[in-house]
Chains A and B, each alone.
Chain A
Amino acid sequence: MENKEKVDKKEKKEKIPRQAMPEQDPKKRVRNFDEVPIGYTAELAITEAKRCVQCKKPGCISGCPVDVKIPEFIELIAEGDFIGAARKLKETNSLPAVCGRVCPQEDQCEKVCILAKKGESVAIGRLERFAADYERKSGNILIPEMAPPTGKKIAVVGAGPAGLTIAGDLVKMGHDVTVFEALHKSGGVLIYGIPEFRLPKAIVDAEVDYMKKLGVKIITNAVIGRLKTVDDLFAEGFSAVFLGVGAGAPVFMKIPGENLNGIYSANEYLTRSNLMKAYLFPEYDTPIAMGRNVAVIGGGNVAMDSVRTALRLGADNGYIIYRRTETEMPARIEEVHHAKEEGVQFKLLHNPVEYIGDDNGWVKQVKCIRMELGEPDDSGRRRPLPIKGSEFTIDVDTVVVAVGTEANPVIPKTTPGLETNKWGYIVTKGDSGETSREGVYAGGDIVTGSATVILAMGAGRQAAQAIDAYVRTKS
């Protein structure tokens, strides 16, 4: 009898379809920088939340790098307690409005949702976003209970996802936390990398403000390694240092003509547009090339962000040039879908081999070669191989190279005894973030290489536990 009821409940739930999130029309949005998805209404959120079957052993939580209590927050939404849902989220995730937008949920929590086995998973990310936005707009932001002060000073280097997460966790544990950020604004990749139309900067600012309200001190314009070294920080009385400096150095392909004018790294292109607001030039002082024919090299999320930025800056043609096929593209399906809707032209199985400039040193063409897929390589993906004699040119006036990033060497070079691997990433022991230097911990892209916001946050969370334990043992 009881079992039958359960089955009925489940079947009934499955009949509600996954609720779509309203979005700006592609034709309209491609000419503005406003956020693409508009977000659930309260009604849509409740309908979607009711799809959750509240599994006894929820798989979704294990799919989340920061163990968000997913069924609990969703149940609160279903009951209409949106503020309660937001607070439940914040128990384990300090940046829910960000994660609701930029996490690859389809590869994490939603992938293991029980409903995904028979149909479509609960839209966990959209619900997370809804609850976090609701709380922020209400202004009803709760400062959680803080542990009594420990008197321990902890330095966090880098105010990106890893740094902000660990700072929030450590301050709640009662430590005195100072974050050192090299740029003039906090947020790291959330502020310089991810565009406004995917993650409004007002949201990042609100999350940073929340950290400050918790008591985290943030010092901007502070390049650790130059202004102060890690050893200087210890000398100033910090008991532990967390390095969350990201994988900030751009990778170029070292092909002829790559230094012509009009050719950017994705880091530069996005930093100009997002951090420096070059899309508002001349109201803002930083310029950016407003190309008509823009080619973006690469197939990741950063490439999609770049090409969609180019369209919004007025490009007639925005190309993605990628050496493999769509199947191997590392970008999220949603991002590729949005890019296609906006008219991005995909040149798949193409690879640039040379850039040709005009008399003024400005790029005018990219010479590409066609590729085919061979045997799988170390990454398990089929290796792209050039087809001899298949070169041809595409007319372009702006190129964005989005083929990845690597470790910035400033901190390892100025921190004696800090072990790095052959790619320059910091070596850590296990999940604690412990490095070869006592009291120095690291996490995020500077350990793993370019990954996701949520993985960096997860690393920050785990290192917070380790640092807390470490400083408490030291008198």
Chain B
Amino acid sequence: MFKILEKTFLQEIIVSMVIEAPEIARKRKAGQFIVLMIDEKGERIPLTIVDSDSEKGTLTIIFQIVGKTTAQLAQMGKGDFIRNVLGPLGHPTEIKNFGTVVCVGGGVGIGVAYPIAAALKKAGNKVISIIGARTKDILILEEEMKKVSDRLLPATDDGSYGYHGFVSTVLQNLIDSGEKIDIIYAIGPVPMMRVLAGMTKPYGIKTVVSLNPIMVDATGMCGACRVSVGGKTRFGCVDGPEFDGHEVDFNLLMSRLKMYSGQETKAMEKYRCECHGK
């Protein structure tokens, strides 16, 4: 059993949670994730570790309410227990001094980009971060990202804050300005990652994406998370979660993420009814 120590709504549908998990906190490195299962009847879902404190023995996760499990998790609070937490999983991000690094985070993906930006900054890189969201109210972690970046470039789709437009345009402008970029980390919704990877390919700028396919065991046993990278089937859980964005088959990833959309709707409806029933 894993105790929830803090819960904060960063905005309406994005939640930050601090969980007590000392052993995972001790081992965890940037880029790794956990799998959690709320209760005995729960499903196993992967969530990136945004931050950890090895002394306090805690992990921070940030998630968006997208279905039944995340809705149920968002209802839980301080003092509640999560039945199972497994981790740290996946390969850590390769952290070294590349020179100039651009970290792009879109939506809840900013939560995944943050620890990577922080670790890269610590390793001596010049970190330029581009963070984007639909509108100002749902742009998360701006302060945190600012602290670990040499430059922070926010953007909103509706122009309510920062650049009026997509993160991809901000990146394009940055490239056009003549900034010499050694590597790009792009983390966010699949369409965003696909656009960014497509954009940087002609420039030959290495672009790493962090994928979040459907997983079950997340230890390499089931293959639910298979993704196609450079024409080869890889497992998101043990071979990833980070891959070369220029090689990823994003269409397949999008299609596979929708595999259970019918059942997910059904589970969500049932959950809503039960909640109202109470």
Which chain A residue has the least Cβ–Cβ distance from B269? A282
Determine the main DSSP class of A at the interface with B.
loop
Indicate which residue in A184, A250, A287 contacts B260 across the interface (CB closer than 8 Å): A287
> Which of B49-57, B172-180, B223-231 faces chain A?
B223-231
Q: Are B84 and A221 in contact (CB under 8 A)?
A: yes
Give bound CA distance, A410 to B219, whole Å.
8
When each residue 172-206 of chain B gets 1 if its CB lies under 8 Å from chain A and 0 otherwise, what string results?
A: 00000000000000000000000000000000000
Give bound CA distance, A409 to B44, whole Å.
22
Contact of A226 with B89 at beta-carbon distance under 8 Å, contacts A259-B228, A284-B41 already known:
yes
Does A252 interact with chain B (Cβ within 8 Å)? yes
Report the minimum CB–CB distance from A307 to chain B (whole Å): 18
Indicate which residue in A265, A271, A287 contacts B264 across the interface (CB closer than 8 Å): A287
Q: Which of B89, B220, B221, B226 has the largest number of chain A CB atoms within 10 A?
A: B221
Contact of A259 with B226 at beta-carbon distance under 8 Å, contacts A184-B86, A282-B267 already known:
yes
Contact of A254 with B233 at beta-carbon distance under 8 Å, contacts A226-B89, A259-B228, A360-B255 already known:
yes
Give bound CA distance, A223 to B87, whole Å.
7
Report the minimum CB–CB distance from B232 to chain A (whole Å): 9
Q: Are B220 and A184 in contact (CB under 8 A)?
A: no
Does A220 interact with chain B (Cβ within 8 Å)? yes
Indicate which residue in B222, B258, B270 contacts A282 across the interface (CB closer than 8 Å): B270
Give bound CA distance, A360 to B224, whole Å.
18
Indicate which residue in B89, B252, B256, B270 contacts A223 across the interface (CB closer than 8 Å): B89
Give bound CA distance, A228 to B221, whole Å.
19
**Which residues of chain B come closer than 8 Å to A287, judged between CB atoms?**
43, 260, 263-264, 267
Q: Are A272 and B219 in contact (CB under 8 A)?
A: no
**Which residues of chain B come closer than 8 Å to A84, judged between CB atoms?**
none
Does A249 interact with chain B (Cβ within 8 Å)? yes
Which chain B residue has the least Cβ–Cβ distance from A248? B221
Give bound CA distance, A250 to B224, whole Å.
10
**Which residues of chain A come closer than 8 Å to B44, judged between CB atoms?**
184, 276, 286
CB proximity to A under 8 Å, residues B236-278: 238, 252, 255-256, 258-260, 263-264, 266-267, 270
Does B83 interact with chain A (Cβ within 8 Å)? yes
When each residue 252-267 of chain A gets 1 if its CB lies under 8 Å from chain B and 0 otherwise, what string results?
A: 1010001101101101
Report the minimum CB–CB distance from A141 to chain B (whole Å): 24
Chain B interface size, as a band, is 35 or more
Does B85 interact with chain A (Cβ within 8 Å)? yes
Indicate which residue in B69, B85, B256, B267 contacts A259 across the interface (CB closer than 8 Å): B256
Does B24 interact with chain A (Cβ within 8 Å)? yes
Q: Are B216 and A268 in contact (CB under 8 A)?
A: yes
Indicate which residue in A192, A221, A258, A277 contacts B41 across the interface (CB closer than 8 Å): A277
Contact of A283 with B41 at beta-carbon distance under 8 Å, contacts A182-B86, A184-B83, A254-B233 already known:
yes
When each residue 183-209 of chain A gets 1 if its CB lies under 8 Å from chain B and 0 otherwise, what string results?
A: 110000000100000000000000000
Give bound CA distance, A268 to B44, whole Å.
13
Instruction: Report the tally of A-B residue pairs with Cβ distances under 8 A.
Output: 114
When each residue 78-105 of chain B gets 1 if its CB lies under 8 Å from chain A and 0 otherwise, what string results?
A: 0000011111110000000000000000
CB proximity to B under 8 Å, residues A157-193: 182-184, 192
Indicate which residue in B37, B86, B217 contacts A271 across the interface (CB closer than 8 Å): B217
Does B27 interact with chain A (Cβ within 8 Å)? yes
Q: Are B222 and A265 in contact (CB under 8 A)?
A: yes
Report the minimum CB–CB distance from A35 to chain B (whole Å): 22
Give bound CA distance, A59 to B107, whole Å.
68
Indicate which residue in A182, A261, A282 contacts B266 across the interface (CB closer than 8 Å): A282
Report the minimum CB–CB distance from A181 to chain B (whole Å): 10
Give bound CA distance, A277 to B216, whole Å.
12
Q: Are B221 and A249 in contact (CB under 8 A)?
A: yes
Does B126 interact with chain A (Cβ within 8 Å)? no
Does A285 interact with chain B (Cβ within 8 Å)? yes
Does A227 interact with chain B (Cβ within 8 Å)? yes
Chain A interface size, as a band, is 35 or more
Indicate which residue in B219, B252, B260 contacts A248 across the interface (CB closer than 8 Å): B219
When each residue 406-426 of chain A gets 1 if its CB lies under 8 Å from chain B and 0 otherwise, what string results?
A: 001110000000000000000
Q: Are B87 and A227 in contact (CB under 8 A)?
A: yes
Q: Which of A276, A283, A287 has the largest number of chain B CB atoms within 10 A?
A: A287
Does A17 interact with chain B (Cβ within 8 Å)? no
Which chain B residue has the least Cβ–Cβ distance from A285? B43
CB proximity to A under 8 Å, residues B31-63: 37, 41-44
**Which residues of chain A come closer than 8 Å to B121, judged between CB atoms?**
none
Which chain A residue has the least Cβ–Cβ distance from B221? A248
Indicate which residue in A221, A226, A285, A408 contacts B85 across the interface (CB closer than 8 Å): A221
Give bound CA distance, A261 to B260, whole Å.
9
Contact of A268 with B86 at beta-carbon distance under 8 Å, contacts A254-B233, A258-B233, A287-B260 already known:
no
When each residue 275-314 of chain A gets 1 if its CB lies under 8 Å from chain B and 0 otherwise, what string results?
A: 0110001111111010000000000000000000000000
**Which residues of chain A come closer than 8 Å to B222, judged between CB atoms?**
250, 265, 267-268, 271
**Which residues of chain A come closer than 8 Å to B7, judged between CB atoms?**
none
Q: Are B220 and A410 in contact (CB under 8 A)?
A: yes
Q: Are B87 and A408 in contact (CB under 8 A)?
A: no
**Which residues of chain B come closer than 8 Å to A249, judged between CB atoms?**
220-221
Contact of A226 with B223 at beta-carbon distance under 8 Å, contacts A271-B217, A285-B267 already known:
no
Which chain A residue has the least Cβ–Cβ distance from B23? A227
- Complex A-B, nearest 9 residue pairs according to Cβ-Cβ distance, in ascending order: A361-B255, A268-B222, A287-B263, A285-B43, A184-B84, A265-B223, A286-B43, A248-B221, A287-B260
Q: List 13 A-B contacts (CB under 8 A).
A: A192-B221, A221-B86, A223-B87, A226-B88, A248-B221, A258-B233, A265-B223, A267-B222, A281-B263, A284-B42, A285-B68, A285-B69, A361-B256
Known A271-B217, A276-B43; 19 more pairs at CB < 8 Å: A182-B219, A227-B88, A248-B220, A250-B223, A252-B223, A261-B255, A264-B224, A267-B222, A272-B216, A277-B41, A281-B263, A282-B270, A285-B41, A285-B42, A285-B43, A287-B43, A360-B258, A408-B219, A408-B221
Q: Please report A residues at the B interface, Cβ cutoff 8 Å.
A: 182-184, 192, 220-221, 223, 226-228, 248-250, 252, 254, 258-259, 261-262, 264-265, 267-268, 271-272, 276-277, 281-287, 289, 360-361, 408-410
